[in-house]
Amino acid sequence: ILNVEQSPQSLHVQEGDSTNFTCSFPSSNFYALHWYRWETAKSPEALFVMTLNGDEKKKGRISATLNTKEGYSYLYIKGSQPEDSATYLCAFIVSNAGNMLTFGGGTRLMVKP
Amino acid sequence: DSGVTQTPKHLITATGQRVTLRCSPRSGDLSVYWYQQSLDQGLQFLIHYYNGEERAKGNILERFSAQQFPDLHSELNLSSLELGDSALYFCASSPTDIFNFPGGNEQFFGPGTRLTVL
């Protein structure tokens, strides 16, 4: 059973704060890590697909880094806005598991105006 | 709007019954994935089809089955339903699979079907 853990489970920040959260995954047999953003009453939307150790991806104010050797990825949000409020999910693909995404429990971010 | 459609949006049925959930992937996408989101669990991968063939199987119960048709739409069949099967079922699609695209394509999720078993 693969264990993908995300911390913290939830986070409350003020508008304008920068924040980050962690996704931990098994470092052996790594193939890829995906980040998704899931707003309430909507469907998950892909943010990043990361494959290489040291990968850094950026989309607007959101960025992510990947360390496959130690088994973690960080997601950063710079200058949080209320519209960033959502659950952020990471999902891990093992090299011999086809396209099977194993999701973490998510970090629920709430940004107060 | 991701371009993935799922029907029905809501389904209420009784224990012991059988239901079929339908998913149409984005135009051109060959891969379809099914996920289950229960109240007490995160998103759980059920099954993946690529161009009509089963590619990967997750924690899918024997009472559940799926298929992908030649027009690439997919159906998830749930039978002998139990109260614990009540959940949100998502379908997602992607252009290809990891064997054809390193890292795997990002997946585009449909709006989900909320199944309530009474």
List, for residues B5-28, the tens digit of each pLDDT value.
999 999 999 999 999 999 999 999
Count how many pairs of residues, chain A against chain B, have C-beta atoms within 8 Å.
Answer: 73
List, for residues A47-105, the tens digit of each pLDDT value.
999 988 899 999 999 999 999 999 999 999 999 999 999 999 999 888 766 678 899 99
pLDDT at A4: 92
pLDDT at A94: 80
B61 or B97, which is more confident: B61
Residue type, position B6, single letter: Q
Residues 6+ apart with CB under 8 A from A11: A19, A21, A107, A108, A109, A110
Averaged confidence pLDDT in chain B:
92
The answer to whether the CB atoms of A98 and B56 lie below 8 A apart is: yes
| Closest residue in A to B90 (Cα–Cα) | A43
Q: Which residues pair with B115 in a beta bridge?
A: B11, B87
pLDDT at B98: 61
Which residue from A93, A101, A97 is spatially nearest to A26, judged by alpha carbons? A93
- Is B110's Cβ below 8 Å from some Cβ in A? yes
Residue type, position B12, single letter: I
- Is B64's Cβ below 8 Å from some Cβ in A? no
pLDDT band of residue B100 (cuts 50, 70, 90) is low
pLDDT band of residue B59 (cuts 50, 70, 90) is confident
* B99 pLDDT higher than 80: no
What is the number of other CB atoms lying within 10 angstroms of the CB of residue A31? Answer: 19
Cis amide bond preceding A8, omega within 30: yes
* A27 pLDDT higher than 90: no
Q: In the predicted model, what is the mean pLDDT of residues B45-70?
A: 93
Chain B residues in contact with A49 by the CB 8 A cut-off are: 103-106
Mapped to the 3 state alphabet, what secondary structure does chain B carry?
CCCCEEECCEEEECCCCCEEEEEECCCCCCEEEEEEECCCCCEEEEEEEECCEEEEECCCCCCEEEEECCCCCEEEEECCCCHHHCEEEEEEEECCCCCCCCCCCCCEECCCEEEEEC
pLDDT at B39: 80
* A21 pLDDT higher than 70: yes
Residue ranges of chain A whose CB lies within 8 Å of a chain B CB: 31-32, 34, 42-46, 49-51, 89, 91, 93, 97-106
| Phi, psi (degrees; rounded to nearest 5) at B81 | -60, 145
Residues 6+ apart with CB under 8 A from A49: A32, A33, A34, B103, B104, B105, B106
User: Dmax of chain A from CA atoms?
Assistant: 44
Place of tokens 């409350």: A12
pLDDT at A51: 87
**Residue pair B94/B104 in contact by the 8 Å Cβ criterion:** yes
